[in-house]
Structure formats: structure tokens, C-alpha cells
Structure 1
Amino acid sequence: MIFINPKTDYAFKKIFGSSESKDILISFLNALIYEGSSTIKDLEIINPNLPPKIEGLKDSYLDVKAQLKDGTLVIIEMQVINVQSFGKRVFYNAAKTYAFQLQAAQGYRLLKPVIALTITDFEMFPESEDFSSRFVFKEVNKNFTYPENDLDLVFVELPKFTKELEELETLADKWIYFMKNARSLTSVPETMDSVPEIHQAFDIANQVKLTREEVEDLDRIEQFIHDQQGAIIKAVQEGIEQGIERGIERGIEQGIERGIEQGIEQGIEQGIERGIEQGIERGIEQGIEQGIEQGIEQGIEQGIEQGIERGKREEKLAIARQLLSQLDNATIAQVTGLSVEDVQSLRGDS
């Protein structure tokens, strides 16, 4: 057997939104919204389109829409491609469904809750590992639920569901496995065939029961989806490549700037060190030169002084020699300024 892909728009509506799908949809919603309990006993499948009641307001098109016995509205959407602002679109459709319940002059007490069930073939919440997420209005600090909590957003992310056939346990497991893998199956698995509603869903999804035109339309839809996914992947890859290139360019620029800064700093440090070394060397050289000059000057001065002193002594000695024959030693010493010992030495020499 060949089964149509329940993730495509046409197949999803045919399986869950046709006139013969009531029991299938009840089982599906109980599994994904109420954890498999039989909360929903009955429902009415209604026209999913939401034409605007106000001129200029955006149209909304849903895959399946149903009303439960208590009046609660359930809108179901299967989304294969992650388009821009998809999260806002989900919230918009839920809010619009809630607001358009009332006619003119009707009271707010007539408003019924809205549950928006969204199945995605991509990850919406990378911060969570769970394949199912539920959002309601809650107080931020105390975490209590808003009294009139009439908007309920439920998400099922198919890529996060990784269970194999033999690992299926709950009704939700089986329905999600059906959504994710029906296209690749060739028969109804025994573990799933035991659920009448899932068996019926496989029966509707059997491609043999489709007309040739329906099969061709489905093929075109799947091809379009593959093309769109390929375009997105290509765009992401190109974006990554461009980001890497720009990152490298900026890295080089920043590296050059930092290199210049560090080079200047190191150059200044090395320049200071070399300057100190050269300054010391030049200082030593200049000090030696100046020392030599000063030494020469001082030597000359001292030589002159010593020469003068020696000249004066020689003059005194000459006078003393002339007086040796005329005066005694003490008198000669007094007259010449020599010591008595010097005079006595001269007298002994003569």
C-alpha cells in the first residue's frame, strides 16, 4: 500500500476534516490535547475558513476547525514550512476565532474558549526538548492562571518526536508516529491497527482510493513543499557562508587594528628599553670624554701649581745657599721661609 502524506494541506484536511472524519478527529484531539483521556465525546466539524467581517481585515485559512459540545472551538493547523512570523499568525488566528464568535450587541459572557492546535514539521521552540508544548495566560510572578483563560495554544513539533514503532506507548505516540511516518509505510503496523480511529485514518490515506487528479495534485503539492524547503535550506546555507565571510573580514580588520595597537605598545616599550640602553652607553662615553677633559684640565692646573711651588722653593734654596757663609741657620730659615732642617741640609751638602 501507498499512503498519502498527512502533513500536506490536502491530505490533512481529507483525513481529519472530512465528513467521515468525526471519530478520527475526536481521538486525535483527545490524544494531543487531553493526554489520551476521553474528554471530548462529540464535536462538529465546521468550515475552517475565517472570512473577514471588517473591510480590509486579513483573511484566515485553517486546515480543520471543530466545535465541541460545550461550545469550545478547536482550530487545527498543520504547517510544514517555517515561514516568517508564523508564531504571530497562530496567535492571530486564535484571537480572531475568539473575537468573531459574537454578533452585534451580544454580551461577552457568550464567548467560548478557543484551543489552537498547531502541528509543525520544524522546531519552533529550540529551548525545549519536549515535542509537545502548551501555552496559557498566567501571572508572571505568582504563576496563577488568568481567571478567564479562554485562549489555549498547543504545539506539536514532529522533528522532536524520535520514538520508533516498537517504542510507541500512548495514544499520542501513535497519532504523532502516523503524522510523521505514514508516507513511508507500506502497511498498517499491528500496534496501531488496534486503534479503530487510526486504522480508519490509514484507510482514508490509502492512495488507491484517490482519483488520478487527486494523486497528481498531491504530487505537485509535495514537490512544491520540497522546493520550498530546499530554497530555505539554500538560503540558510548562503546566509551562513556570507556570515562566515563577513566574520572573517571583520576578524581580519579587528586583528589588524589590534595588531597595530599591540605593535605600537610593544614598539614603545622596546623603544624605551633601547633608548635607555643607548642613553646609558652614550652617557658612559660622554662621561669618559668629559672625565678625560676634566682630568687634563685638573692635571694642568695641578701641574702649574706644583711647578710654581717648586719654582718658589728653588728660589728660596738659592738665596739660602748665598747666605750660608754670612748667617746662622735660624736666621737664614727666618729670612727665606725654609725650615731649619732644610737650611741645615744645605749647609751639610756644601
Structure 2
Amino acid sequence: MKFISPKVDYALKKIFGSEQSKDILISFLNAIIYGGNKTIQSLTIVNPYNPGQAMSIKDTYLDIKAVLANGSVVIIEMQIARVTAFSKRVVYNLAKAYSNQLGIGENYLTLNPVIAVTITDFVLFNASQDVINQFVFQEKNHKFEYPDPELQLIFVELPKFHKSLSELTSLSDKWIYFLKEAAHLDNIPDSLGEVAEIEVALNIANQAKMTSEELDIVERRGIMLQDEKGRITYAAEQGEAKGREKGRLQEAIALVMRLLKKRFGELPEAISTKIESLPLQELENLTEEILDLNRLEDLERWLDEHSPS
């Protein structure tokens, strides 16, 4: 057996957002939100994925949205790479899902709680080693919760999960293992198969049961998401390199200015400006030339010869 990765947005939608996926989604949400307790008994999936009509690349999207029996709204998103303002976007989506419940002039009493479950394939919170972190409104000093538990943010950080199959004990363990490792399995392990909903999820993810069109979309989506992750990583590395280069430049400027002030005293503003415009290599050259410069005129002449035109 080979299974598609739930980390791919299309696959996530197919596994958790199909009309026949209600029991799967209920089990998953009870595991992640309620610690395995069977708090959620029923739900309605909004805009469910239709397995008989494969979505195109253009039509796929990350979010799964469901309404629980008590009216609470749950939105689920998988994010494989950190992007700019990601944490703000998560809060925005939460607030939008909450505010969109009301039409103009409608009563605030009709508002229902919203829970955002965000699964990340990167570490978001270095301050915590927990795989699941939950945020609610609470009083800052005394830590008691806001009277109405209207908004919750729940994050599942996959890289923090390191348990093997033999170490899986809780329902949340098994679902997180499924999310992280399904694509690497070649059969349905007993420890996962004993949870009926996970067994069904793996059967949905079984490539042998998918059409060639669906497999093509999954492959293209996977490549697209990996390319995007690669671009983000490359941009971050380039940014770090530029940051290091800028730091070296500032240090070199400070060193040259300090040496020149010791030799000539306070420098005219025009000379200081020219020094600050020098590239790193010329600043390093200047540190070697300082002892050969006897007058400010010598320094000015050197700068005229080496400053960028």
C-alpha cells in the first residue's frame, strides 16, 4: 500500500472534508480539541469535497470548515512552511469566521464560538515543547478565562512530535502520527487500525483507491507546495546572509571611524559620509592604510580614489 500525504492541502480536504468523513473529523477534533473525550457527537461539513468530482489545482484550498451540533464553528488549516505574518493571518481567519455569522442588524446573541485548528509542518512556538498548544482569552494577571469562550486558537506543530508507533498511547498521538507519517507507511499498523476512524482515513488516503486524475492533482499540489516551501526557505537564508553582511559592514565602519578619530580627531561630515558609503572590501583596505595617511588631505585623496563613483 501507498498513502497520499495528509500534509498536501488537496489530500487533507479529501480525507477530512468529504461528506463521508464526518466520523473521521469528529474523532480527529475530539482528539485535538478535547483530549480524546467524546465531546463532539455530530457536525456538518461546510462545502464538503465531492470524491466523485476531482477538484482542479485552481479549485483546491486549505481550509476545512465544520459546524458542530451546538453551533460552534471549526476551521482547520494545514500550513507546510512559515510565511510572513502567518500568525496574524490565523487570527484574521478566526475573527472573520466569527464576524461573518452576523448580518447587518442581527443580534450578537446569535454568535457562536469559533475554534481554529492550525496544523504546521514547522515549529511556531519555541517557548513550548508541547505538540498541541491552545490559546483562549483570559485575564492577564489572574489567568481566569473570559466569560464567553468565543474564540480559541489551537496549533498542532508536527516537527515536535517524535513518538514511534510503539509509543502511541492517546487518540491525539495516533492522529498526529497519521498526519505526519501516513505517506511513509506501507500498510495499516495495528496501533492505528484499532481506531476505526483512522483506518477509514488511511483507506481514503490509499493511492490504489484513487483515480488517475486525483493522483495527478495530489502529485502536482505536493510539488507546488514543496517548491513554495523551498522558495520561502531560500528567501529566509538569503535574508540571513544579507543581515550578516550588513552587520559586518556596520562593524567595519565603526572600526574605521574609531581608528581615524584617534589619528586625526573629529572628522568633517563630508569625510564621514564618504567612509559610510564605502563597500566592505574598501573599508577593510582602509584599515590597513590608516597608518600611512599623515594628514586629512591624504585621507580625502584616498577616499576620492576608492569611493564608489
TM-score by length of 1: 0.69
1:159 aligned residue: 159
* Structure 1 residue 167, shift from structure 2 partner: 1.5
* Structure 1 residue 262, shift from structure 2 partner: 5.9
Indicate if the aligned counterparts of 2:19 and 2:48 stay in contact, CA closer than 8 A: no
Letter in 2 for 1:11: A
1:249 aligned residue: 249
2:33 aligned residue: 33
Aligned residue pairs total: 254
For structure 1, the 5+ residue unaligned runs are: 50-60, 266-350
Q: Distance in 1 between matches of 2:125 and 2:259?
A: 41
Q: Distance in 1 between matches of 2:191 and 2:9?
A: 26
2:46 aligned residue: 46
1:200 aligned residue: 200
* 1:140 matches 2:140: yes
Q: Distance in 2 between matches of 1:262 and 1:185?
A: 68
1:18 aligned residue: 18
Q: Distance in 1 between matches of 2:77 and 2:168?
A: 24
* 1:99-131 superposed Cα distances (whole Å, 9 cap, x missing partner): 122234432111111111111111222222211
Indicate if the aligned counterparts of 1:118 and 1:154 stay in contact, CA closer than 8 A: yes
Indicate if the aligned counterparts of 2:10 and 2:62 stay in contact, CA closer than 8 A: no
* 1:124 matches 2:124: yes
Indicate if the aligned counterparts of 1:121 and 1:157 stay in contact, CA closer than 8 A: yes
1:6 aligned residue: 6
3-state SS, counterpart of residue 20 of structure 2: coil
* Structure 1 residue 6, shift from structure 2 partner: 0.4
* Structure 1 residue 261, shift from structure 2 partner: 5.1
Indicate if the aligned counterparts of 1:5 and 1:11 stay in contact, CA closer than 8 A: yes
Paired residues for 1:286-325 under 5 Å: none
3-state SS, counterpart of residue 41 of structure 1: coil
* Structure 1 residue 86, shift from structure 2 partner: 1.6
Letter in 2 for 1:5: S
Q: Distance in 2 between matches of 1:143 and 1:193?
A: 40
Over 3 Å counting, the alpha-carbon distance change for 1:114 and 1:253 in structure 2 is: same
Paired residues for 1:56-205 under 5 Å: 63-205=63-205
* 1:14-72 superposed Cα distances (whole Å, 9 cap, x missing partner): 000001101100100000000111111111111279xxxxxxxxxxx652111111111
1:342 aligned residue: none
Q: Distance in 2 between matches of 1:140 and 1:20?
A: 42
Q: Which one has the bigger helix percentage? A: 1
2:275 aligned residue: none
The 10-residue stretch of structure 1 (122-131 or 38-47) with the greater mean CA deviation from structure 2: 122-131
Q: Please tell me the root mean square deviation across aligned C-alpha atoms, in Å.
A: 1.9
Q: Distance in 2 between matches of 1:73 and 1:48?
A: 15
Paired residues for 1:204-243 under 5 Å: 204-243=204-243
Indicate if the aligned counterparts of 1:158 and 1:176 stay in contact, CA closer than 8 A: yes
3-state SS, counterpart of residue 169 of structure 1: coil
* Structure 1 residue 264, shift from structure 2 partner: 7.7
Larger Rg: 1
3-state SS, counterpart of residue 149 of structure 1: coil
Q: Distance in 2 between matches of 1:236 and 1:85?
A: 14
Greater relative contact order (CA < 8 Å, ≥ 6 in sequence): 2
TM-score by length of 2: 0.77
3-state SS, counterpart of residue 5 of structure 2: coil
Over 3 Å counting, the alpha-carbon distance change for 1:231 and 1:105 in structure 2 is: closer
Q: Distance in 1 between matches of 2:255 and 2:164?
A: 50
Letter in 2 for 1:169: T
1:297 aligned residue: none
Q: Distance in 2 between matches of 1:182 and 1:42?
A: 26
Q: Distance in 1 between matches of 2:129 and 2:89?
A: 23
* Structure 1 residue 151, shift from structure 2 partner: 0.6
